[in-house]
A = this chain, B = another copy of it.
């Protein structure tokens, strides 16, 4: 049978931990490497909801994008996050693992998934390497032909399943070169602009980042941290299934389809 160690080895091949940012903590969060794994449950966030859903779906492993332990832990309090999730995971026998900025950067990872969903061509990396801040390693590419920003806006809302999005730029501006950064990518405005992007699609854009885009003539779509990453989990799950099949590993992969963003628009 397949062990957690073998699953982590596959993940390491898909998204090498050496590609993660310095501040990140991908890989094993809690668990034992010799555990037998028949089913993996994938969610964006390691919340109690995600864990309980994984238990309900009889998975042995919860694989999340955001690591359960991001700040190293000095004290495990059962009554406070992440202690609550860790206690319940240990009690229920569920291991928790993560693939975060290494997955953002990986071939076939979060950002490649976004680029694919948007139909970008001649896709390249937005930056070689980021050292200091939390930001996903993005992608940049070309739309098959120029599209009006207003039309693109509607298209992206549909693709990402996002109810509302925030936009900067003239509605009738024609866009062809697009940068995408899953998660919090407002810090990439200068780079996207320098690399010739006409539009940057990302999440968690802050006010001063929007002003920066405006002064440098870059259109901006903030589709939300949650939606820009969540929509890329399905392609990733397929990617993972292919790897398991290839290595004759008998592991079922499920995605937490009904996971919700913590915030809603009103």
Decide if A175 is an interface residue (CB 8 Å cutoff). Answer: no
Report the count of interface residues on A (CB-CB < 8 A): 65
Contacts of A207 in B (CB 8 A): 183-184, 203-204, 224-226, 261-262
Known pairs A47-B211, A183-B207, A207-B225; A31 contacts B77 (CB<8 A): yes
Q: Closest B-chain residue to A171, C-beta based?
A: B266
Quickly give the copy total for this chain: 6
Interface residues as binary, A201-216 with B (CB distance below 8 Å gives 1, 0 otherwise) = 0011111101111111
Decide if A153 is an interface residue (CB 8 Å cutoff). Answer: yes
Nearest CB in chain B: distance from A166 CB, A: 4
Q: Quick one: which of B76, B80, B212, B263 contacts A205, CB cutoff 8 A? A: B263
Residues of A within 8 A of B (CB): 25, 27-34, 45, 47, 66, 69-81, 83-84, 86-87, 90-91, 150, 153, 157, 164-168, 183-184, 203-208, 210-216, 220, 222, 224-226, 261-266
Q: Closest B-chain residue to A157, C-beta based?
A: B266
- Alpha-carbon gap, A260 to B69, bound state (A): 34
Extra contacts besides A32-B79, A91-B91, A153-B266 (7): CB < 8 Å = A25-B75, A28-B76, A34-B79, A69-B74, A167-B263, A184-B207, A207-B224
Known pairs A45-B211, A75-B28, A215-B47; A265 contacts B166 (CB<8 A): yes
